Amino acid sequence: MTDSLKVKICGITNLEDAIAAVEAGADALGFVFHRESPRRVTPDIVRQIVAQLPPLVLPVGVFVNEDAKVVRDVMDACALALAQIHGDESPSYCREVGRPVLRAIRLRDRAGLADMAGYQEQACVRGFVVDAYSEQAFGGTGERVDWALAAEAARTSRVLLAGGLTPENVQEAVIRVRPYGVDVSSGVEARPGKKDHAKVMAFVRAAKLASTQSGGYTALVE
């Protein structure tokens, strides 16, 4: 038997949106600590939100080119389950973090698939977030990743598909890519940093409906 598709709602900035995502059926919530993101949150805010989450909903911290010690300290202070590493960090950096890691890969071409190999050798790397490549930002751009390339990645790794997903296209994306899960931020927003609760509900519902046709993997946190 395989696990059902996992859904991560990223860019959560407030408790109201967090609760709405959980009630919609999200399996994980993402909190962005990158200073240049319009969805940036502080550890104090995240700690308060995480303290009110129900069990078995994974809180994930998103970091970009941050000092490894800072990542560890923030994760511990906020009780985060995973660190999503979204910048130019190396495989050795992920090992230095010393916590469970999701490595974001911005796929521009097949070379991006080769880049995943070095990270797969690190025991701390539990999976990958496959996102679209952009020269303007490290993530949250709303640009769609190449689904054919993403499908190749999903055949050999635990992949959360990101990049340009919306309630309207997530079902097709799941069927074509067969990922471990999906990750959305801008596709369910009213504006940067504020979720549209109806879109969140529609996204989770559409993703879960397609889950019986997607591949399943073991849990990210073991």
**Closest to 130 measured CA to CA, from 111, 117, 146:** 146
Q: How many CB atoms lie within 10 A of CB 197?
A: 17
Q: Which residues are catalytic?
A: 10, 131
Beta bridge mates, 29: 9, 59
CB 85 within 8 A of CB 63: yes
